[in-house]
Amino acid sequence: MTNWRARPAVRWTGVFLVAFSLAVLPFALAQVGTTWVRITDYAILYILLALGLNIVVGFAGLLDLGYIAFYAVGAYTYALLASPHFNLHLPFWIILPIGAAIAALFGVLLGAPTLKLRGDYLAIVTLGFGEIVRLFLNNLSQPINITSGPQGIARIDPFHIGDFSFSSYQTIGGLTFSGPIKYYYLLLLVMLGVIVINLRLQDSRIGRAWEAIREDEIAARAMGINTRNLKLLAFAMGASFGGIAGGMFSAIQAFISPESFILVESVMVVSMVVLGGMGNIWGVILGALLLSFIPEVLRWTVEPIQQALFGRMLIEPEVIRMLLFGLAMVLIMLFRPAGLLPSSVRKRELTQETL
């Protein structure tokens, strides 16, 4: 443990092992059931969301409770441009950047009027913003049908490059690739990209400026940091990651409705960031993984246990999941306020008593 970083052989073996297990994982999961590959896909989507939100909350210290709105913007952008709804079928590599850009625009739209606000006000305004976006999605079916309202948009195109579709079965070299497995590799690729971007951002000039703003905004401004632009940048970047994740969600799911973008989802992403450790990329990933998989494990264990013990279902797994979320948020704040894997700076900050 002491200096494994200094020993290239050990280090590269580790990297190879992780890479190998990530590459084999979907096939191992497919043995249990394709559902689990799908669950892993959604878990990676949540990692993308949590990493995006981490830029806003963890790096820049702006609590955003309406983050799911950007996910929704990305998802609807993809759905509208690649479905029979408007009879548009643009390829995904064109739509995803558009979705990211529109989400970033929404991020700036939200950020611009709220920049002056302090933490808790900001939280409420972003929460309101998320609800407004959802209300519009729900109601923009009249007088011109844009979003189909509560019915949502169905038959959304899967990703495809030429004839290669990401949603169909295919056998390559004796291995059967199902839709979720193909998406898994794509998502893995995107996730690695996002992780690299995040790691590089954190130590960059911008990342350090964000940290300065988070620690003490007035001092940061006095040091010549353009706090307004940097906060807007944090909003825009966080939002664009959300937009990309939303577009992919749309394609994987093939159906979206405003139901997928309710407040609880925002809260869930926030809890992932908080639980894992705000500002620490690996912590955030851990938080996202835990909160994506624990509910699924619960779903597969709680039901049979209750059936066996009481003969019927007393508490739905969904409710247990939410109760655990709430409890986790309270307990983490009480006993481990910096998260499971705290970032070093955040830890120092949160253990210090403020006057």
Partner 1 sequence: MDTFLQQIINGLTAGSVYAVVALGYTMVYGIIQLINFAHGEVVMIGAMVAFTVINALVPYGLPPLAIVLIGAGCAVPICMLVGYGMEKLAYRPLRHAPRLAPLITAIGVSIILQHVALLIWSRNVLAFPQIIPSRTYMVGGAAITTIQIAILAICFGLMAALAILIYRTPLGTAMRATAQNQQVAGLMGIDINRVIAATFVIGAGLGAVAGVLYGTYYGLAQYTMGSILGLKAFSAAVLGGIGNIPGAMLGGVLLGIVEALGAGYIGDFTDLCQYGWLAGSISACDGGGHFVLFGSNYQDVFAFLVLILVLVFRPSGLLGERVGDRA
**Nearest in space to 197 (alpha carbons), one of 230, 159, 240, 229:** 240
Member of 45, 72, 102, 123 binding partner 1 (CB under 8 A): 123
Local structure of 171: helix, strand or coil: strand
* Dihedral sign for Cα atoms in the order 124, 127, 132, 133: positive
Q: Minimum distance from CB of 337 to partner 1 (Å)? A: 5
Report how many residues bind partner 1 under the rule CB under 8 A: 50
Beta-carbon-side half-sphere exposure of residue 281 (alpha carbons within 13 Å):
16
Residue 189 tokens, joined: 């690729």
In the block, residue with structure tokens 């990305």? 74
Per-residue CA distances from 324 to 7, 294, 329 (Å): 41, 10, 8
Residue 33 tokens, joined: 């059931």
Print the binding letters for residues 63-102 with partner 1: x by CB under 8 A, - otherwise: x-x-------------------------------------
Whole-angstrom distance, CA of residue 300 vs CA of residue 317: 9
Q: Minimum distance from CB of 104 to partner 1 (Å)? A: 20
Residue 230 dihedral angles phi and psi, to the nearest 5°: -70, -35
Q: Minimum distance from CB of 278 to partner 1 (Å)? A: 8
CB of 201 or CB of 270, closer to partner 1: 270
326 binds partner 1 (CB under 8 A): yes
Residue 117 dihedral angles phi and psi, to the nearest 5°: -80, 150
Member of 24, 132, 161, 196 binding partner 1 (CB under 8 A): 132
Print the binding letters for residues 328-347 with partner 1: x by CB under 8 A, - otherwise: xxx--xx--x----------
Preceding omega of 143 cis (within 30 degrees of 0): yes
142 binds partner 1 (CB under 8 A): yes
Whole-angstrom distance, CA of residue 355 vs CA of residue 346: 17
Member of 145, 319, 344, 348 binding partner 1 (CB under 8 A): 319
Of residues 253 through 282, those in contact with partner 1 by CB under 8 A are 263-264, 267, 270-271, 274
* Dihedral sign for Cα atoms in the order 165, 169, 174, 180: positive
Print the binding letters for residues 208-237 with partner 1: x by CB under 8 A, - otherwise: ---------xx-------------------
Residues of this chain that interact with partner 1 (CB under 8 A) are 61, 63, 65, 113-114, 116-121, 123-125, 127-129, 131-132, 135-136, 138-139, 142-143, 217-218, 263-264, 267, 270-271, 274, 315, 319, 322-323, 325-330, 333-334, 337, 349-350, 353-354
